[in-house]
Amino acid sequence: MLIIACCSMVGLFQAARLRVRTTRLEETIGLVGMIASDLRYTCAPMENIVRRLTSVSDALPFLTACAEYTQKGEPFPNAWRQALKEAPSGLDEEDVKILRKLGLTLGAVDLDGALSELDYAKFALGKRYEEARERQRKLGGLYRTLGVLAGFAIVIVLF
């Protein structure tokens, strides 16, 4: 019985990872939209925008880490890159690559360039979100089922 439970847990864990990524992508798309709105209407420095957004929501750990780095005097692009590298995000490497590219331009280009880059990031992350949602729909149940079936198969083979 313990073997079945362990295998089931592995399946549940894999399904949960898919769900976490989908949720994080959705939150990240919202974050990019909030940054664009703040930038468009306040023209505030990125350091201030990140600190304000951190006080509103702590759902994305890398944002909190970025705010901490900027408070220590780290330039925004370095703080963004370092935070993406160190803080757990629940995103995969391609998702992080989009955010890394975004961090290089924010604060380094004019307002129109930053807004264009934010629009592109929102579009690219939106595509990744749709793919993640479809993957979660297709594979989430499969992982859960395979976990249980693998547990039964091991029990049958062993006993």
Report pLDDT digits (tens) over 45-62. 898 899 888 877 666 888
CA distance 66 to 74: 9
At residue 81, the pLDDT reads: 92
Report pLDDT digits (tens) over 106-140. 878 888 989 999 999 999 999 999 999 999 999 88
- pLDDT bracket for residue 7 (50, 70, 90): confident
| Non-local CB neighbours of 14 within 8 Å, separated by 6+ positions | 139, 143, 147
Closest CA to 90 of 20, 3, 9: 20
Is the model's pLDDT at 85 over the cut of 80?
yes
CA distance 50 to 40: 14
- State mean pLDDT over 10-30: 89
Mean residue pLDDT of the chain comes to 88
